A and B are shown apart, each in its own frame.
Chain A
Amino acid sequence: MIALIARDLRLAIRAGGGFGLGLAFFLIVIVLVPFGVGPEALQLREIAPGILWVAALLSALLSLDRIFALDYEDGSLQLLATAPLPLESVSLAKAVSHWITAGLPLVIAGPALGFLLNLAPAAYPWLILSLLIGTPALSLIGTFGAALTVGLRRGGLLLSLLVLPLYVPTLIFGAEVARRGGEGLAVQGPLLLLAGVTMGTVALMPFAAAMVLKVNLR
């Protein structure tokens, strides 16, 4: 499993664009928001946690279709399926490398982009924490979606349609943590629920993803 993660990370670095594109997209969405809603600092402060979370979610979505597609096209996925590594571990490894290349950069860049939206100072630690806890769920759910659509030629759009409704709980709890943190309210409730959703996806999604991969490789 570690071998697979290491290989995917190496490939992401060598192919270039792995880290950069998602981040650039995140930045662009954040820059566009004030153009749409106006530059008033107070208004931006109010919507900042939600916008940051929605933008993070969209940029995580952007790279999902590459999780399995490349391995499927060149035959590696078939070979991995016959290897001693169970497909559940393959799915988990894929989710981990997606998180490292697409999720972790968002956690790091999130606060920097918070400045652009005049995020409340008290919200910063909670934004970072909620992204840190929530983005793994985005990668795991996305891995399941990518496994579902791996055999399809134009699966990208379908992938978004399938995955976005599954992101609703993570988005709600994640943005709620950041918002409450900024307003100085208690964050424990949504934080625990967010962690619960992530734990649940860690436990379930690799199995679901392996099931659909088996079907798609048949």
Chain B
Amino acid sequence: MSIWDYANPKKFIATTTPLVPWFFGLAGVSLVVGLIWGFFFTPDDFRQGSTVKIIYLHVPSALMAINAWLMMLVASLIWLIRRHHVSALAAKAAAPVGIAMTLIALFTGAIWGEPMWGTWWAWDPRLTSFLILFLFYLGYVALWQAISDPDTAADLTSILCMVGSVFALLSRYAVNFWNQGLHQGASLSLDKEENVADVFYQPLLLCIAGFVLLFLALVLLRTRTEIGRRRIRALEMRARRQEVRA
């Protein structure tokens, strides 16, 4: 049997129903362990003090904010090429989760930035890129909500996702360019993954795993809800048709 069998809504629901609690459970365990480990059993950074520990929320959420969009892009392409409804609905389901991740990344960034840079917000290339990503998410969700016909909505949002990806990437480079132009040689570098020591690294990996699992659990749950909604709509339409005929 091929992987495309899961593109059937009923098959998808049947397969994922027993999986969702496991994903939630594993996500919970790795997040609790990872965060406690990270917050209480790692030394303070010699330069940043204990503020560095927000890294355990900031980095995983930022990572998932981008990966959620990538997942939406892949799901959109699958919908456009193979017309699998579950794929389109999964993309729809992932968007609000992606928004949440982007917001967490932005807020934790601000909380971290205040003691480190003395400001809640700087037009640093990375922060700015995330803000733009947030706008793309908003547009995507708004377009889904504005269109009543589900197939039309799936088609249009998929194309928007493709075009948006190109422009999001372009904006990322444009923003890098723009900020360099503003203050030559950016003094505030957010590149810290490269220099984290092993003591910080292991709990961080665990937190990232936790966020990935949490994302999967939420997207599966939301996809199932979307499938349910779509099914209700289909049943209502059929009932109305039979009424007209009778």
Contact = CB atoms under 8 A, between A and B. Distances in A.
Interface of A: 144, 148-149, 151-152, 154-155, 158, 161-162, 164-166, 168-169, 172-173, 176, 179-180, 189-190, 193, 197, 204-205, 208, 211-212, 215-216, 218
B136 A165 contact: yes
Contact of B160 (A162, A169, A216): A162
A206 B219 CA distance: 33
B246 interface: no
B41 interface: no
B83 to A, nearest CB: 13
B22 interface: no
B16 interface: no
B177 A190 contact: yes
A52 B145 CA distance: 34
A176 to B, nearest CB: 6
Contacts of A216: 152, 156
Interface string B150-186: 0010011001101110111011011101100100000
Given A158-B146, A165-B135, A168-B132, A197 B170 contact: yes
Of listed A149, A197, A211, A216, residue having the most chain B CB within 10 A: A211
A162 B147 CA distance: 14
A215 B155 contact: yes
A144 B166 CA distance: 14
A146 to B, nearest CB: 13
A208 to B, nearest CB: 5
A52 to B, nearest CB: 16
Contacts of B155: 212, 215
Contacts of A193: 174, 177
B139 to A, nearest CB: 4
Nearest to A165: B135
Interface in B91-140: 132, 135-136, 138-139
A166 B163 contact: yes
Contact of A168 (B138, B156, B162, B171): B171
B143 A162 contact: yes
Nearest to B176: A172
